[in-house]
Structures are given as structure tokens and as C-alpha cells.
Amino acid sequence: MQRYFAALTLTLLVVMVWTRILMMRRMDIKTVHFGSLDKKDFLIPPFALFYFYLVFAATFSLPTITTQRFFQSEALSWLGALSCLTGLLLLLLSLISFGKSFRVGIDASRPGKLTTSGIFAISRNPIYVAFWLVILGQFLVFPNWIFLIYLAAATWLFHRQVLREEDYLSKHYGRQFSDYSHRVRRYL
């Protein structure tokens, strides 16, 4: 059951983000700026697609690299499903709070307003926290070395991107972002 929930979570996560992108496009707002500042970002999509395959392969018994597991724990597997659900709900709250300011990557040409309300009053980066919770949950559902590597890589990549975005936000919004970052934690 938890395996199906992990795959469904990943599917819903992608559907939610793409729905928001399409809604923003209807308002004539270009939301995808992924790779515009760092051309090495083009390396991320193939690894993301491979991750999607691994989740669906583990869920539906498709050919995969390994079936070895670090542990067999029904309780941890359910905790993983709960982590996936929490991440999905946090993403939904983030997308709602973001309003018209939602972007994938840094939009230096047409940034939105600084979002500090809603879930952003609790965390400056709730979308990254949401993605991380989903990946953590999927590791707990599929506890093998590949998912552990993806969890470690995601942790590093998310933090790297957060630092980039915060540098930009600090330069663009100045004192407003400085005050916000003193009031609200970076992650949780």
C-alpha cells in the first residue's frame, strides 16, 4: 500500500507544479527559468526522470537496479508514506501562498513580489522542504542505497539552490528580505 502511495505522491507533486505553471502561463507570466543562471542545471532533469522510473519500478515490480533493502519495517514504511503526504500538503500550501510570485528558478527580469505570508511566515523555503519530505518518505518506503544517494544529493542541491535564491533576494529586495530572513527560519 505504501509503495502505491509513494508513486501517487510523486505523480501528484508533478501534476501540482505543472498545473501552476500552466495557470501562470495563462496570465502571461513565464514561470520556468530553470538553468538560466547556471547552465549545469541541465544535468538535473535526466537524474529526475531516472528517479521517477526508480519509484515506479519499485512500486510496480518493473526491472530495477537493486532490490536490496537496508531494513524491513512496516512502521518506517508508513512513516515514509506520512512524510510523502506531509510534503504534498506543504507543497499545496506553498503554491497557494505564492500566488503570482511562483517561479521555477530565478526570474531576474520579471520577479514577483516577496512572499512572506501564509506558509512563508513559517519557512522561507517551504517548497524545498516539501520536496525533501517527499524524497525522505520515498526512501523510507524504498530503503535502498539508490534512494539514499538521491536523498543526499537532493539535500545538497536544494541547499545550493536556496543559497543562490537568497543571494538574489537579498540583492533585489534588500532590507525587506533582510527583515524577513531575521523573522523566519530558512527551512523549519
What is the topology classification, in CATH, of domain 2-183? Four Helix Bundle (Hemerythrin (Met), subunit A) (1.20.120)
**Nearest Cα to Cα of residue 55 among 156, 185, 151:** 151
Three-class secondary structure of residue 56 per DSSP:
helix
**Nearest Cα to Cα of residue 59 among 75, 77, 73:** 77
Asked whether 106 and 164 are in contact (CB, 8 A), the reply is: yes
Q: What is the pLDDT of residues 149-160, one digit of tens each?
A: 999 999 999 999
131 CB-contact burial (10 Å; exposed 0-12 / middle 13-18 / buried 19+):
buried
pTM, whole model, 2 decimals? 0.90
Q: Round to whole Å and give the CA distance between 94 and 176.
A: 20
Q: What is the pLDDT of residues 6-57, one digit of tens each?
A: 999 999 999 998 888 888 788 776 766 566 656 666 777 889 999 999 999 9
pLDDT value of position 43: 77
